[in-house]
Chains A and B, each alone.
Chain A
Amino acid sequence: MIEVHDVRKQFGAVQALGGVSFTAHDGQITALLGPNGAGKTTLLRTLVGLLKRDHGSILIGGVDPEKDPMAVRRNIGFLTDQFGLYERLTTREYLNYFGELNGMNSAALKQRIAEVSELLGMDDIIERPTKGFSQGQRIKVALARTLLHRPRHLLLDEPSRGLDVMSTRALRTALGALRADGCCVIMATHVMQEVTHLCEDVIVIAKGHTVAQGSPEELCRRTGIANLEDAFVSLVGTEEGIA
């Protein structure tokens, strides 16, 4: 479970987060919606303890990332908006590296790599150097890295961007499996269809504030708009800055 209460963060004169509060439950996929520049990246970075909040409280599985960032990170799978592969390493070496950094031993790693590789359908690329991978292959490798150490919490920044239909399905299966395992998944996205299909809960942030939280149906009901996309625009309050 991820509990965030009134988190604020200021960079110089810029108020990046002006008061974000939400609760993301275990066994649910929570969508994080917000226009570009709403503070999603700052929020995710604060959650993993890369940035320190100015105000408010954060508990991830009951641990404050500011007090014990290592414990929190061991329990988080973080997929950034860039995948950051190492071109001279093969997929397996890449996964080994991050698995070892998360304290996995080689026997556990071997078994787990076989598992995620099957889950994401990436047997064909596991021994290949990651140089020249397609967007879909890259995101699969990055996602495999995210899932590798069986984190209880997943922070995914636009995991479906650039994926073809087959890969999107693989991703959806993976997310479904995580939910069934009781993981707490937060997924930043711009694809409304994905939100309606996958997510139980939606957090809408705009200009560094939480604007609304609830299931997609609740948000539609609250705004009185049947279409989630229109409801989102109405909640954010402007049509500017929507990607």
Chain B
Amino acid sequence: MKSRIRIVFLKELRETLREKRTLGFLAMMTLAYPVLIGFMMHQAIEKSTRTEREGINLTVIGGARAPTLMAQLRERSVTIADSAAMSEDAIGELLHSKKAAAVLRVSDDFIENYEAMRPARIELWFDSSSESGSQRRELEEALQAYGNNIASARLLAHGVSPATLAPVLVQRYDTGTNASRSAMILGSVIGILFFPAFMLNMSSAVDSTAGERERRSLEVLMAQPARAWELVGGKWLACSIIAIVGVTFELIVAHAILKWLPLEEIGMSWNLGWGELALVCLATVPLSLLSGALYIALAMNAKTFKEAQTTLSIVMIVPLVPGFVVSFMELKTAQWMYLVPMLSNQTLVKELAKTGDIGPLPFVLTFLCALLPALLVAAFASWRMNSEKYVLGV
């Protein structure tokens, strides 16, 4: 005779796997999720390894009227494309297509005004809705410098020191490095790496408890010769195994992607080997068990599928909170972090990625800090199912 917990487990699993929505979600979480993370990282690497001044494309109309300016712009490695006169619409079109970061139009009477020492007009056309804000600043600085040069020369010709024009000298230093920026990105990637442990088992947990209650099949089930802990246990393990399998695959795919990305180019590291990854996956198993137990315990008290879903969507956010608080307050890794489920998994991976070797204790703590509450919550759910109050509501 098979054990009843196994009978319930197999039946719930079979029912869950028959639902296409659940399967689709599982596939998306295990494949698309890490690929998305990888894509994000890839973009970040691309962006920060690109030199900032490279590729300012400037279209100039009437550039021949200001050859000195053109020379100075080229010195600042601006690629200049000369163009014939354009209408305003054509300029707008050009900027919108992002072929040029800006358009410079030297007015027709530029030379005349320049020689007469009247303000000579140069138009700078740009699209503020595009991302080339820093490039535009670059261009404005170049134009400013050009103007200052001319002013200095003219003052000098009148016997006045050009220094009078610059009573204050501002010099800018940016201490932000690529590495510090990308450390934040890696931190947030690790933060969401374990989230599927709280997403994949939700629909199964709700369906096998609140759903069964809504369809009124729970009373029949409870009248069978099976103890409450066997029913709860089977349902709990069935919804947890889906999360366990999903998270394990997701971690493997994410690991492969992070190993493949040239993280060292932005001063980051992913020092995990496959052996360590296996240990991380193992230490993460109880996290899925904990979320499953929590969902079962909460959803079984809801009268309808919908009610349970609403409650659980709120609960689902909770595990992300400790991770956010820690990164927000910029706390240094401490031993206590391995005692908070979810945060312990995040800390574990973070430290492994950094140093590669952290000893066995963090793994053990991560494993136990989720397993013990999971067992407690599952026991509570069994006790609850046995109570008369619960039977009455079924």
Tell me if A82 and B217 are in contact (CB < 8 A).
yes
The chain B residue with its CB closest to the CB of A71 is B225
Chain B contacts of A52 at CB under 8 A? 388
In the bound complex, residues from chain B placing their C-beta under 8 Å from that of A70 are: 225-227
Q: Hey, what's the 0/1 contact readout for A223-239 against B, CB within 8 Å counting as 1?
A: 00000000000000000
Once bound together, how far apart are the Cα atoms of A197 and B256, in whole Å?
73
- Asked if B168 lies at the interface with its beta carbon under 8 angstroms from chain A, I say no
Judge if A51 is at the interface, Cβ distance under 8 Å.
yes
Cβ B388 vs Cβ A73 within 8 A? no
Question: Which residue of chain B lies nearest to A85 when distances are taken between CB atoms in the complex?
Answer: B217
Contacts of A50 in B (CB 8 A): 219, 222-223, 391
Please indicate the chain B residues that have their CB under 8 angstroms from the CB of A87 in the complex. 215
Stretch of B10-18, B262-270, B361-369, B371-379 with 4 or more beta carbons under 8 angstroms from chain A: B10-18
B2 is an interface residue with CB less than 8 A from chain A: yes
Does any Cβ of A come within 8 Å of B64's Cβ?
no
Chain B residue with Cβ nearest A100: B7
Note all chain A residues with C-beta closer than 8 A to B11. 86, 89, 93, 97
Report the count of interface residues on B (CB-CB < 8 A). Answer: 27
Can you name the residue of chain A whose Cβ is closest to the Cβ of B218?
A84
Q: From residue 215 to 244 of chain B, which have CB atoms closer than 8 A to chain A?
A: 215-227
- Please pick, from B4, B15, B225, B392, the residue contacting A86 in the complex, using a CB distance under 8 A: B15
Give, as a whole number of angstroms, the nearest-CB distance from B54 to chain A.
Answer: 58
Contact between A101 and B225 (Cβ–Cβ < 8 Å)? yes
Q: By the criterion CB–CB under 8 Å, are A105 and B217 in contact?
A: no
Q: Is B1 an interface residue (CB 8 A)?
A: yes
Contact A73 B225 (CB under 8 A): yes
Contacting residues, chain B, for A56 (C-beta < 8 A):
none
| Contact string against A for B residues 375-394, beta-carbon threshold 8 Å, 1 for contact and 0 otherwise | 00000000000001001100
Minimum CB distance partner of B222 in chain A: A50
- Among A78, A83, A101, which residue has its beta carbon within 8 angstroms of that of B226? A101
Q: Is the CB of B219 within 8 A of A88?
A: no
**B18 cross-chain contacts in A, Cβ below 8 A:** 88-89
Contact yes or no, B219 A84, CB < 8 A: yes
Find residues 44-76 in chain A having any chain B CB closer than 8 Å to their own CB.
45, 48, 50-52, 69-71, 73-74, 76
- Residues from chain B with a CB closer than 8 A to the CB of A80 are 216, 219-220, 223
Known: A11-B392, A88-B15, A100-B7. A48 touches B223 (CB 8 A): yes
Say if the beta carbon of A102 comes within 8 Å of chain B.
Answer: yes
Choose among A70, A74, A78, A86 the residue with the greatest number of B CB atoms under 10 Å from its CB: A86
Mask of B195-223 contacts with A, CB within 8 angstroms, 1/0: 00000000000000000100111111111
Check: A22 CB closer than 8 A to any chain B CB. no
Q: Which of A70, A74, A84, A89 has the most CB of B within 10 A?
A: A84
Chain A residues with CB under 8 Å of B391's CB are: 45, 50-51
Measured CB to CB, the nearest residue on chain B to A45 is B391
> Once the chains bind, are B19 and A78 in contact (CB under 8 Å)?
no
- Contact assessment for B222 and A105 in the assembled complex, using a CB-CB cutoff below 8 Å: no
Contacts of B7 in A (CB 8 A): 97, 100-101
For B4, the chain A residues whose CB sits under 8 A away are 101
Q: Is there contact, CB below 8 Å, between B1 and A105?
A: yes
Query: Is B14's CB under 8 angstroms from A78's CB?
Result: no
- Known: A89-B14, A97-B11. Is A73-B223 also a contact (CB below 8 A)? yes
Per-residue interface assignment for chain B, residues 64 to 93, with 1 indicating a CB less than 8 Å from any chain A CB and 0 otherwise? 000000000000000000000000000000
Question: Which partner residue on chain A sits nearest B216 by CB separation?
Answer: A82
Instruction: Determine the residue in chain A with the shortest Cβ distance to B226.
Output: A101
A98–B19 alpha-carbon span in the complex (Å): 21
CB-defined interface of B141-181 with A at 8 Å, one 1/0 digit per residue? 00000000000000000000000000000000000000000
CB neighbors of B among A93-115 (8 A) = 93, 97-98, 100-103, 105
- Which residues of chain A are within 8 angstroms of B2 by Cβ–Cβ distance? 100
CA distance A85 to B29 in the complex (A): 30
Q: Considering residues B1, B7, B8, B218, which has the most beta carbons from chain A within 10 angstroms of its beta carbon?
A: B7
| Residues of B bordering A, CB below 8 Å | 1-2, 4, 7-8, 11, 14-15, 18-19, 212, 215-227, 388, 391-392
